[in-house]
């Protein structure tokens, strides 16, 4: 199977996002910073339209707030889309709670959550996929008490899952930060293991590696790399993997 991880930058470069997904041909896509709406969003397509265009029929969206956008109501958050069945879906908030009628001037933008889906492949294997957009600390990627709490919450949740586990997302943290070390104790950090020097693109001046894919020991890593298609200010991360067959 193949998983693509991407901070989609509000899907402002929708055609390039679609190009990346077509080029990499993933079975599962974890996305952060996505908008969706029940009506036409005008300047660029929403999440649902992208999934329809790409014929990825299984979608789970976990918004953190809604707001008025060009006279229409839109929701913003994280999502998993797939050509494989999503048999279970769950969302948990790591900071604050869902905000109705979000206002940038008045409200805290650091509403954060993670989502968990169970993906079933053609061989009836099940894989747990956790998707997260990390708390943003202005000025640095070293983290703080909020990122420590969120990473611990995710690890505590993931430890209880039986079977292959993949954790993906833009964590807004450096690979050796104290917060990421919480995940490193229990999961392989592929961004660090494969020595990615950056997960950003030339669409930003930032150069740090802040996007991650983690796996447990029931996931066999076949390949891991950053996509060459530029679709955001973040690189897309690609994981080719198989489910390890366990003796029962």
**Residue 223 burial by Cβ neighbours in a 10 Å radius (0-12, 13-18, 19+):** exposed
For the chain, list residues with pLDDT below 50.
Answer: 248
Please give the pLDDT value at position 39: 73
Give the closest residue to 64 by CA, choosing from 41, 32, 88.
32
Beta bridge partners of 64: none
Model confidence pTM above 0.75: yes
Please give the pLDDT value at position 45: 84
Please give the pLDDT value at position 128: 98
Q: Which sign does the torsion angle of CA 192, 133, 26, 53 carry?
A: negative
Question: What gap in Å lies between CA 92 and CA 116, rounded to an integer?
Answer: 9
Lookup result for tokens 């690609």: 238
Please give the pLDDT value at position 248: 44
Describe the strand order of the beta sheet including 2-7 as a list of residue ranges. 58-69, 72-82, 28-36, 2-7, 237-243, 219-226
Q: Which CATH number fits domain 2-243: 3.60.10.10, 3.40.366.30, 3.90.79.10, 1.10.10.10?
A: 3.60.10.10
Strands 28-36 and 2-7: parallel
Contacts of 13 (CB under 8 A, 6+ apart): 231, 232
* 3-state SS, residue 89: strand
Domain segments of the chain as ranges: 2-243
- For residue 9, give the DSSP letter: G
Report yes or no: 167 and 187 within 8 Å, Cβ to Cβ.
Answer: yes
């Amino acid at each position: 199977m193949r998983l693509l991880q991407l901070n989609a930058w509000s899907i402002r470069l929708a055609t390039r996002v679609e190009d990346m997904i077509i080029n990499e041909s993933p079975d599962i896509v974890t996305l952060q910073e996505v908008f969706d709406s029940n009506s036409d969003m005008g300047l660029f397509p929403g999440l649902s339209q992208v999934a329809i265009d790409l014929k990825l029929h299984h979608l789970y969206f976990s918004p953190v707030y809604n707001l008025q956008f060009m006279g229409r109501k839109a929701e913003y958050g994280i999502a998993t889309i797939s050509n494989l069945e999503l048999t279970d879906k769950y969302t948990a908030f790591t900071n604050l709670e869902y905000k109705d009628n979000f206002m940038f001037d008045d409200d805290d933008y650091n509403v954060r959550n993670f989502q968990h889906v169970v993906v079933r492949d053609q061989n009836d294997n099940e894989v747990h996929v956790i998707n997260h957009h990390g708390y943003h600390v202005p000025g640095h990627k070293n983290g703080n008490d909020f990122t420590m709490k969120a990473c611990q919450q995710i690890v505590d949740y993931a430890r209880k899952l039986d079977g292959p586990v993949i954790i993906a997302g833009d964590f807004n943290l450096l690979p050796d930060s104290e917060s990421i070390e919480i995940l490193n104790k229990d999961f392989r950090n592929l961004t660090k293991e494969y020595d990615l020097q950056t997960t950003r693109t030339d669409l930003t001046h930032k150069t740090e590696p802040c996007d991650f894919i983690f796996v447990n020991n029931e996931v066999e890593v076949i390949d891991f790399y950053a996509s060459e298609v530029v679709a955001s200010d973040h690189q897309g991360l690609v994981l080719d993997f198989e489910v390890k067959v366990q003796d029962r």
